């Protein structure tokens, strides 16, 4: 695991230091309220930068509207501390720092795992975690909490598992997309929007599981989109970001998971829904192509 940030501009290094500070502050505030032993003794053991900023190939395109995320892995000492309740305030604060305060020039996508879980994933040879440990950069690291030596996963084992993931998740994503089209034609805009959300969520999980044998347990489309586009940049094509209409449509799709089901105020026009349907079709094609090419590279059927 690397430790230097010399490949990043000084301003980016300062921003990452601010990200680490916010994570520690909000974690301390969130878990200090509990009396359970795992809560009182909860610790952040490691904070790692991975993805494009770790590799040095990030994209910052204000004209096209695409910004690579700061991808962060937070490692804690108890499984219970990975639950969203401990990190929702940090996520909100980091989002506001990028979108409102403008103190960050890139969005932050962070995942939280216990050291026990990360080591179990390394012992199984999960490519996602192996790559982070081998290529990631430590922004913070407590002494005495080491990662285990990763297992070298044979391609044939990876192929068998990846094929199962692809077959299951791609098929169910297609079912939700078909459901969305059915309800859109019937005028059921809210139900269609929710089903499009579910289709997109599952296409993203399909790609992550097929390529890295791991996907975060999340419904957040902006987070899943970022994770997928990091490992498969061709997916950027699915969601244009260069105009307000396209950005608004993706935001409506993101909100549909909750609001399309429960909020009377949720509104989406026929034009917006039609555009989303077209982009979901593009996403489906890209995911299928990328996954099948990956399976073929592992020795599987094209």
Q: What is the per-residue DSSP string for the chain?
A: -B---TTS-HHHHHHHHHHHHHHHHHHHHHHTT--SHHHHT--EEEEEEETHHHHT---EETTTTEE--EEEEEEESSGGGGSGGGTHHHHHHHHHHHHTS---SS-EEEEEEEHHHHHHHHHTT-HHHHHHHHH-EEEEE-TT-PPPPPP---HHHHHHHHHHHHHHHHHHHHHHHHHHHHHHHTT-HHHHHHHHHHHHHHHHHHHHHHHHS---S---HHHHHHHHHHH-GGGGGGS--SSHHHHHHHHHHHHHHHHHHH-TT----HHHHHHHHHHHHHHHHHHHHHHHHHHHHTT---
CATH of the domain at 244: 1.20.120.330
228 & 200 share domain: yes
95 & 119 share domain: yes
- What is the per-residue pLDDT across 128-144, written as a single tens digit (0 to 9) for each? 999 999 999 999 999 99
- Mean pLDDT score of the chain, rounded to an integer? 92
19 & 85 share domain: yes
Residue 1 lies in a domain: no
198 & 119 share domain: no
137 & 25 share domain: yes
Average pLDDT on 2-31 reads 92
At 299 the pLDDT is 84
The total domain count for the chain is: 2
Average pLDDT on 179-198 reads 97
At 40 the pLDDT is 64
| Per-residue pLDDT band at 67 (split at 50, 70, 90) | confident
114 & 169 share domain: no
Residue 250 and residue 258: Cα distance in Å, rounded?
14
Return the minimum-mean-pLDDT range out of 10-19, 30-39, 172-181, 186-195.
30-39
At 2 the pLDDT is 65
172 & 111 share domain: no
| Per-residue pLDDT band at 1 (split at 50, 70, 90) | low
Average pLDDT on 63-80 reads 89
- What is the per-residue pLDDT across 141-152, written as a single tens digit (0 to 9) for each? 999 999 999 999
Out of 82, 115, 141, pick the residue that ends a domain.
Answer: 141
At 61 the pLDDT is 74
87 & 117 share domain: yes
| Per-residue pLDDT band at 86 (split at 50, 70, 90) | confident
At 65 the pLDDT is 72
Residue 112 lies in a domain: yes
Residue 232 lies in a domain: yes
Beta-carbon contacts of 163 under 8 Å, excluding residues fewer than 6 positions away, are: 295, 300
- Say what the pTM is: 0.88
**Distances in whole angstroms, Cα of residue 155 to Cα of each of 123, 165, 192:** 16, 15, 39
Residue 121 and residue 215: Cα distance in Å, rounded?
12
| Per-residue pLDDT band at 300 (split at 50, 70, 90) | low
At 301 the pLDDT is 52
Pairing of strands 108-114, 70-76: parallel
Out of 141, 174, 199, pick the residue that ends a domain.
Answer: 141
At 37 the pLDDT is 64
Residue 19 and residue 13: Cα distance in Å, rounded?
10
Give residue 38's domain range. 10-141
- What is the per-residue pLDDT across 207-234, written as a single tens digit (0 to 9) for each? 999 999 999 888 999 999 999 998 999 9
20 & 137 share domain: yes
């Amino acid at each position: 695991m690397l430790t230097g940030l010399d490949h990043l501009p000084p301003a980016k290094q300062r921003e990452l230091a601010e990200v680490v500070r916010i994570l520690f502050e909000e974690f301390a505030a969130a878990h200090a309220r509990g009396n359970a032993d795992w809560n009182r003794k909860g610790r952040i053991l490691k904070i790692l930068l991975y993805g494009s900023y770790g590799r040095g190939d990030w994209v910052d395109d204000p004209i096209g509207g695409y910004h690579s995320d700061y991808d962060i892995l937070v490692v804690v000492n108890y499984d219970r501390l990975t639950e969203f309740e401990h990190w929702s305030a940090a996520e909100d604060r980091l989002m506001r720092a990028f979108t409102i305060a403008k103190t960050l020039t890139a969005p932050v996508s962070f995942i939280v795992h216990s050291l026990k879980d990360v080591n179990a994933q390394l012992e199984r040879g999960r490519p996602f975690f192996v790559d982070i440990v081998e290529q990631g950069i430590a922004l913070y690291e407590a002494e005495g909490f080491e990662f285990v030596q990763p297992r070298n996963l044979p391609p044939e084992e990876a192929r068998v598992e990846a094929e199962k993931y692809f077959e299951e998740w791609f098929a169910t994503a297609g079912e939700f997309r078909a459901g969305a089209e059915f309800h859109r034609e019937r005028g059921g805009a809210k139900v269609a929007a929710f089903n499009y959300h579910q289709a997109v969520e599952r296409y993203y999980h399909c790609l992550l599981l097929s390529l890295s044998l791991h996907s975060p347990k999340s419904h957040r489309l902006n987070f899943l989109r970022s994770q997928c586009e990091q490992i498969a940049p061709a997916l950027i094509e699915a969601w244009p970001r260069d105009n307000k209409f396209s950005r608004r449509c993706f935001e409506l799709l993101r909100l549909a998971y909750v609001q399309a089901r429960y909020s009377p105020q949720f509104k989406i026009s026929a034009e917006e829904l039609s555009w989303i349907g077209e982009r979901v079709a593009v996403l489906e094609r890209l995911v299928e192509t990328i996954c099948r090419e990956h399976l073929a590279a592992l020795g599987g059927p094209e």
